[in-house]
A and B are shown apart, each in its own frame.
Chain A
Amino acid sequence: MMMNASKRSSVSARKTRRPSGRPLPGWLAFVACLSALVLGLVGPDASAQAADDAPPAESAAPPPAPPPGGYKSGLYPMPNDAETPLAFMPPGSAATPVPSEEIYPPQTITIRFNHKKHTKDLKQTCKSCHAAAFTSDKVADRLMPKAEQCDACHDVDHSDLHDVKAGTDANGQCVFCHIGDKAGEKGSVAPMVLPNANLVFTHKKHLDRNIQCGQCHGQVGELELATRDQLPRMAGCFSCHNMSGAAQGQAKGACTTCHTARNDGRMITSFTTGNLVPPQWMHNAAHTPDFIERHKSVAANDSAFCGSCHTTNECTDCHDGRVRPRKVHPNDWLSIHAQSARQDNPRCASCHQAQTFCGDCHRRVGVARDTGSGNRLTGRRFHPPAAEFTTAPRGPNHHAWEAMRNLNACVSCHTERDCATCHATKGLSGGHGVNPHPIGFRDKCGAAFARNPRPCLVCHQSNDPFVRACQ
């Protein structure tokens, strides 16, 4: 009841400040103009001073001061900046507690506002203040209420933002809503900075489908101030937007349904606030510092997902690259790479075709066995002495163990002929008959021969009984 009375008096006072619409009486206008003319002749400053010095009728009473320590409510989502319960947060906040700065650039909120009071106590709806959202079809639309809209209840007049008139009630003072010690001083308040989200979004389509505000923004009506924390999370969007292509239905699941896109269909990922990267939970693709070692499982599973942001060129820079990528191979790689190949770290075959990429250089520098005679380095031997590494008997340093453990490393220098020298059968095949086959080979050789007899015929003659046994 008291509140209603106060409201009536505020409204009444505001009406008295506003122009009534009736013109001044003629005689009063004439006297005022004459006075101004006289004062103007006496001194140009005098008229202005006279106007400024004349105290407004209502300034006699000082405006109501805020309570000691200032206003406390509406400064944070929860009173005293307590942690917001997850149940009130937007869907998906469990996975992403803080919204991305790349998508939602930082904001500067310079007012306090208690949503809970307005919705619970004052029975306002979201639409009461954010009606523009219901017709908005792009992120650049202004969805915050105009300040004038507050005037319906607050004792203030925002009709001219260059000359806002505070009322007599506390709720009409600048500092009632605007934050800052000097809020309202000299008629100015700190500006709100609410950058557009880097998204493609239409509120209208969602609202037309009866998707309510809380389904994306969480229970804002339970909170005091709404901040960036109340902006939707991608994990929440995925509760509907989880289909792509023909399966997508109304809630399309393609990345560029929501994310801004380049002409080639890839997402724009570079923003002034940073580079957009997948969240921790998406396809195991968090771009952590060790992602270069982990990314193969992501690409093997869903390379189209990688292609949402990356061009093929970015992949080929390493996987078919001609400039050594430092993030893969460190400095002095030419010296290190032999030991790295032996330790299979990183795996050479991931990016290189050993017989050409490795072999061409090894033949030029004389490391390969089938190098031209002019390239051979006299008196130099890459491997341990032949008696230890190459020929029988098979001791601990024999090449057979190395071949069994990491045959790829052998193949980066050696061609078939090098191995057939010993491992081909005797006679016409030209070898020494050292059998390199594994246990269980006989069970497989029939099917293998039927699919491709060529490797068999490198070391065996076609009439070889071993080959016949496999035919």
Chain B
Amino acid sequence: MVASGLAALATAITAHPRDARALDFEVQSDTAAQAYQVASPWGDTILDRRRLMQTLSLGVYNLQGDHVPGRADFAVVLRVRLDADFGINGHLGDADRGGETSYLTEAGPGVRFVPGLQQAPVDLMYAYVEGRNLLNGWLGFRAGRQYVVDSLGWWSFDGALARVTTPYFVQAELYGGLEQRGGLPLSTSRYERPGVWRGNHAGFGTAGDQPSVTDFPSYQYTQPAPAFGVSLESNGPSWIHGRLSYRRVYNTGTSVTQQFPDPTGGYRTAKGLRVSQDRLGYALDLNKSDLGAIKGGVTYDFYNQIVGSYYGGVEAYLGKRATVGADIDYFVPTFDADSIFNWFTKSPITTATARVWVAPTQRLDLSAYGGVRIWMADGDPETFGTEQCRASGLCSGDQEIDPSNSKTFTRDPDNREISTTIDALANVSGRYRFGTGEVGLRGMMQAGARGHTGGADLSGEKRFDGGRYRVGGRVSVYDWNDPLRPDRGATSFGYVLGAGVRPVQQADLRIEWEHDMNRLVGQRFRIVALLNLRLGG
């Protein structure tokens, strides 16, 4: 309905005589059809995926009339998406027909049911009106569903954002609204913090033919999540840029807490306004164009009271065609404040690498980096004793804490010393570009106590007739092994063949065929067809 309305609007707009229009329009349609099979980890082919994704974008720019650089301008943009999988329920027989999306089947209630799973969800990816360069460049705004991208991540909300740009090397942003959450109308869960499984409980109830919240106590009700944020950002000098960001999001409404029923069969809940995330981030970039650069960023999680991540790097420019550098990345998993996982013992993952980039010619450039990934654990797995819990005087067994014991629990510090394991990792990538095509290579390796993954892709594309026709291919070999699951190790060989045509400037069609093979799943095929249409712009 929305899509057809937009299409009609787009047609009406683009049919308008060009000379008479005061506005600029762009309408874009992206269609992706995919068919492939998903096998279980043991090789059984159990899901047929028949996916159709259709997005439709509309942009109306320069609502004020002719664009004058530096003067105020206004725009409206939106993008809607249908992401259907007609393979959902497709593999089920008569007894449990429709069971993945319907609770009640002949085979019994809920035997195949996946709460929140939808066959053809539609979401509004973004839709906002924007004003820029208002008040002589001091003010800008956005109102509607929009993204915010900064050191706190890729995030979406419904609301308004105001940006004040001053002549004093700083600009500020202030925004507020509701976080986009899965289960709300025209929304996805992509932008929620991890750790909590939320969704739409439509159809849930207490009747026997309905799923009950107590059947899925971890599946939380989606409720509107008020959010706000502020940022200060440097503005002006090209050799330095920094952004300080703060964001807070609240959870509201009722949430099931207790995961198991009490003696009366009831489940306890928590209600009211509570923090979902409360984080501060800063990112900085310094560069001297003939020397090199320094970059860095850090986030602090006020709820977890820890530095959640940081990264940094230095680069030296060895002429125009070579760069060397070193980077570090530190990350501790943090979750939505409703999640218990915040308070599980968890350790940072630290990655340190050195990097080089060279471009021997204008057509050829190569990058490579290598380093280590450091894993940490609270204690040494090899020496951790079975007596630890018992020795504390709190446990009724080897590891089980007696909740009736009020004694302060302290683990033996000797067994809480940090132990580390290290993976070696390396990555190499390169490309050779010629006038009508490109050849690319990407290889990676990561190996350590947690197993190894390694492999490479060789890809190429050739364009004909000024880009009207394209053919491409990709060959890959990957090998992996996990000591915890030795039966899951395999070597995979795969190839992709693709062809595309651009019959007119506004249309682009591409078809790809993928064939992968490994000992776990045998042969597997995937076909992808992509059609992009664009008018205006």
Q: Contacting B194 at CB < 8 Å: which of A313, A354, A373?
A: A354
- Once A263-B24, A401-B377 are accepted as A-B contacts, the answer to whether A339 and B216 lie under 8 Å apart by CB is no
Q: A52-69 vs B: 1/0 string, CB under 8 Å?
A: 000000000000000000
Which A residues are CB-close (under 8 A) to B262? 428
Which A residues are CB-close (under 8 A) to B137? 245-248
Which A residues are CB-close (under 8 A) to B275? 451-452
- Once A332-B476, A338-B41, A457-B270 are accepted as A-B contacts, the answer to whether A447 and B305 lie under 8 Å apart by CB is yes
B40 near A332 with CB under 8 A, answer no
Q: Contacting B154 at CB < 8 Å: which of A92, A315, A416?
A: A315
B1-9, B10-18, B201-209, B361-369 - interface stretch: B361-369
Minimum Cβ distance to chain A for residue B73 (Å): 7
Instruction: Verify if B213 is at the interface (C-beta below 8 Å from A).
Output: no
A3-11, A22-30, A391-399 - interface stretch: A391-399
Which A residues are CB-close (under 8 A) to B514? 331
B484 near A439 with CB under 8 A, answer no
A245 near B165 with CB under 8 A, answer yes
A448 near B476 with CB under 8 A, answer no
- Once A245-B235, A283-B285, A439-B416 are accepted as A-B contacts, the answer to whether A264 and B377 lie under 8 Å apart by CB is no
Q: Contacting A95 at CB < 8 Å: which of B278, B289, B425, B453?
A: B289
Q: How far is the CA of A377 from the CA of B43 in the complex (A)?
A: 12
Instruction: Verify if B26 is at the interface (C-beta below 8 Å from A).
Output: yes
Instruction: Verify if A300 is at the interface (C-beta below 8 Å from B).
Output: yes
A248 near B446 with CB under 8 A, answer no
Instruction: Verify if A215 is at the interface (C-beta below 8 Å from B).
Output: no
- Once A434-B399, A437-B345 are accepted as A-B contacts, the answer to whether A420 and B340 lie under 8 Å apart by CB is yes
Q: A282-311 vs B: 1/0 string, CB under 8 Å?
A: 111010111001101111111101100000
- Once A247-B166, A313-B57 are accepted as A-B contacts, the answer to whether A451 and B303 lie under 8 Å apart by CB is yes
Which A residues are CB-close (under 8 A) to B62? 263
B59 near A297 with CB under 8 A, answer no
A301 near B474 with CB under 8 A, answer no
| Most chain B CB inside 10 Å of its own CB: which residue of A405, A420, A439 | A405
Minimum Cβ distance to chain B for residue A467 (Å): 11
B482 near A342 with CB under 8 A, answer yes
Q: How far is the CA of A7 from the CA of B112 in the complex (A)?
A: 100
With CB as the reference atom, state the residue of chain B lying closest to A436. Answer: B344
Instruction: Verify if B20 is at the interface (C-beta below 8 Å from A).
Output: no
- Once A96-B320, A345-B425 are accepted as A-B contacts, the answer to whether A235 and B516 lie under 8 Å apart by CB is no
Instruction: Verify if A218 is at the interface (C-beta below 8 Å from B).
Output: no
Q: How far is the CA of A436 from the CA of B377 in the complex (A)?
A: 13
Minimum Cβ distance to chain A for residue B439 (Å): 11
Instruction: Verify if A383 is at the interface (C-beta below 8 Å from B).
Output: yes
Q: How far is the CA of A340 from the CA of B79 in the complex (A)?
A: 32
Q: How far is the CA of A437 from the CA of B378 in the complex (A)?
A: 11
- Once A343-B423, A353-B194, A360-B114 are accepted as A-B contacts, the answer to whether A245 and B133 lie under 8 Å apart by CB is yes
Which B residues are CB-close (under 8 A) to A332? 476, 478, 492, 494, 516, 518, 524
A111-119, A171-179, A364-372 - interface stretch: A364-372
Known interface pairs A264-B61, A416-B340; 13 further A-B residue pairs with C-beta atoms within 8 A, sorted by A's residue number: A253-B238, A263-B24, A263-B62, A323-B528, A374-B96, A374-B111, A380-B40, A395-B381, A411-B194, A428-B262, A451-B337, A455-B342, A457-B268
Q: Contacting B190 at CB < 8 Å: which of A320, A335, A424?
A: A320
B197 near A356 with CB under 8 A, answer yes
A437 near B344 with CB under 8 A, answer yes
| Most chain A CB inside 10 Å of its own CB: which residue of B182, B341, B429, B450 | B341
Q: How far is the CA of A264 from the CA of B73 in the complex (A)?
A: 10
B236 near A300 with CB under 8 A, answer no
Which B residues are CB-close (under 8 A) to A334? 38-39, 521, 524
Which A residues are CB-close (under 8 A) to B24? 263-264
Instruction: Verify if A49 is at the interface (C-beta below 8 Å from B).
Output: no
Instruction: Verify if A386 is at the interface (C-beta below 8 Å from B).
Output: no
Q: Contacting B26 at CB < 8 Å: which of A263, A297, A418?
A: A263
Minimum Cβ distance to chain B for residue A455 (Å): 4
Q: B418-433 vs A: 1/0 string, CB under 8 Å?
A: 0001010101011100
Q: How far is the CA of A265 from the CA of B278 in the complex (A)?
A: 33
- Once A338-B488, A426-B403, A451-B274 are accepted as A-B contacts, the answer to whether A319 and B51 lie under 8 Å apart by CB is no
- Once A289-B429, A345-B425 are accepted as A-B contacts, the answer to whether A394 and B399 lie under 8 Å apart by CB is yes
Instruction: Verify if A147 is at the interface (C-beta below 8 Å from B).
Output: no
Minimum Cβ distance to chain B for residue A401 (Å): 5
Instruction: Verify if B451 is at the interface (C-beta below 8 Å from A).
Output: yes
A300 near B297 with CB under 8 A, answer yes
Which A residues are CB-close (under 8 A) to B453? 336, 339-340, 343, 345
B530 near A323 with CB under 8 A, answer yes
With CB as the reference atom, state the residue of chain A lying closest to B255. Answer: A454
Q: Contacting A417 at CB < 8 Å: which of B259, B377, B536?
A: B259
With CB as the reference atom, state the residue of chain A lying closest to B39. Answer: A334
Instruction: Verify if B373 is at the interface (C-beta below 8 Å from A).
Output: yes
Q: How far is the CA of A365 from the CA of B32 in the complex (A)?
A: 24
Q: A204-237 vs B: 1/0 string, CB under 8 Å?
A: 0000000000000000000000000000000100
- Interface residues in A42-95 by Cβ distance below 8 A to B read 92, 94-95
B259 near A424 with CB under 8 A, answer yes
B197 near A355 with CB under 8 A, answer yes
Q: How far is the CA of A470 from the CA of B28 in the complex (A)?
A: 54
Instruction: Verify if B100 is at the interface (C-beta below 8 Å from A).
Output: yes
Minimum Cβ distance to chain B for residue A275 (Å): 10
Q: B448-459 vs A: 1/0 string, CB under 8 Å?
A: 001101010101
Q: Contacting B340 at CB < 8 Å: which of A374, A404, A435, A458?
A: A458
Which B residues are CB-close (under 8 A) to A357? 189-190
Q: Contacting A451 at CB < 8 Å: which of B53, B195, B278, B313?
A: B278
Minimum Cβ distance to chain A for residue B354 (Å): 12
With CB as the reference atom, state the residue of chain B lying closest to A368. Answer: B114
A365 near B236 with CB under 8 A, answer no
Instruction: Verify if A438 is at the interface (C-beta below 8 Å from B).
Output: yes
A355 near B26 with CB under 8 A, answer no
A265 near B132 with CB under 8 A, answer yes
B386 near A92 with CB under 8 A, answer no
Minimum Cβ distance to chain B for residue A424 (Å): 7
A420 near B357 with CB under 8 A, answer no
Which A residues are CB-close (under 8 A) to B319? 97
Which A residues are CB-close (under 8 A) to B340? 416, 419-420, 423, 455, 458-459
Q: Contacting A281 at CB < 8 Å: which of B79, B235, B304, B317?
A: B317
Can you report 12 residue pairs joining A to B where beta carbons are below 8 Å apart? A254-B70, A263-B25, A284-B315, A293-B369, A326-B459, A356-B189, A403-B344, A404-B377, A405-B421, A419-B344, A433-B401, A465-B406
| Most chain B CB inside 10 Å of its own CB: which residue of A326, A434, A458 | A458
A319 near B154 with CB under 8 A, answer yes
Q: Contacting B150 at CB < 8 Å: which of A288, A300, A407, A438?
A: A300
A283 near B320 with CB under 8 A, answer no
B457 near A242 with CB under 8 A, answer no
Q: How far is the CA of A423 from the CA of B132 in the complex (A)?
A: 52
B270 near A433 with CB under 8 A, answer no
| Most chain B CB inside 10 Å of its own CB: which residue of A92, A300, A372 | A300
A454 near B305 with CB under 8 A, answer no
Instruction: Verify if A20 is at the interface (C-beta below 8 Å from B).
Output: no
| Top 4 A-B pairs, shortest CB-CB distance | A430-B260, A245-B165, A331-B494, A263-B24
B528 near A313 with CB under 8 A, answer no
- Once A301-B295, A452-B303, A457-B268 are accepted as A-B contacts, the answer to whether A392 and B490 lie under 8 Å apart by CB is no
B335 near A411 with CB under 8 A, answer yes
With CB as the reference atom, state the residue of chain A lying closest to B515. Answer: A331
Which A residues are CB-close (under 8 A) to B242? 301
B305 near A405 with CB under 8 A, answer no
Q: How far is the CA of A447 from the CA of B342 in the complex (A)?
A: 13
Instruction: Verify if B400 is at the interface (C-beta below 8 Å from A).
Output: yes
Instruction: Verify if B331 is at the interface (C-beta below 8 Å from A).
Output: yes
Q: How far is the CA of A244 from the CA of B69 in the complex (A)?
A: 12
Instruction: Verify if A375 is at the interface (C-beta below 8 Å from B).
Output: yes
Which B residues are CB-close (under 8 A) to A396? 381-382
B125 near A97 with CB under 8 A, answer no
Instruction: Verify if B440 is at the interface (C-beta below 8 Å from A).
Output: yes
